Structure 1
């Protein structure tokens, strides 16, 4: 069966633990690490860690030990955090900024307002979409700047004519 990136990372964690415990020499550790990142199948990964403990090593129960988790976090399956949703105001800001040229710049102001609102919410909640908010802000300010330039040119033309 083909190995996934997560499978490779778990094998690398076992190798790191083996090296930290003194079970692997530096050169062997580095060689196994490079082979782990290049491994394509589960069999290749298993061969790299077969001679290393892949969990806690049983120890004599002569002295009481402090309370510890049953399995160190290194050997637990990786728990991927749930991705944060994308902020809706950031998406709205980007959309308003993108359609501004087609609406004669009328959506530039909402793009700026939504962009600032989205960035504040993203900082507060940790949601995704900061890049969208910044893009919406830039496009919105460019649209506002284009309108300001247009009115300035029109004013200069009116002053020069009369």
Structure 2
């Protein structure tokens, strides 16, 4: 059977691979390349390539490998977006604690207990969620406790004076 140009090109590739792997010397490679260009039949090409691993006949195609993506070592917390993340909001209980704490002197201490309750709740929420407002919650707590302590001292003083 007569050799085609694609058969000669494939034979050249096999020889180049054999030379690159060190299976052929430079002199032997040059001689075989010259014979490849002058070969007219498939049998002549077969004779030039028979001792090389790929040989003159085409190799069967390898079985297709199934693609398994590598697992990601971590998942991003938030996918990238061109819009920046909104800033953290201020905790509503912290605002309420501060308002109640500031109103304590004007309401005869009635708002001191809500200031203390809201202040503790707000500080817990701020630590858990990362919202803003820890300072406001702390200020509401301090004002609420100071008002409660003032009322306790006043009542204790009245009780001692009455004895």
Q: TM-score scaled to structure 1, two decimals?
A: 0.49
Structure having the larger proportion of residues in helix:
1
Using structure 2 for the length normalisation, give the TM-score.
Answer: 0.48
Bigger Rg over Cα: 2
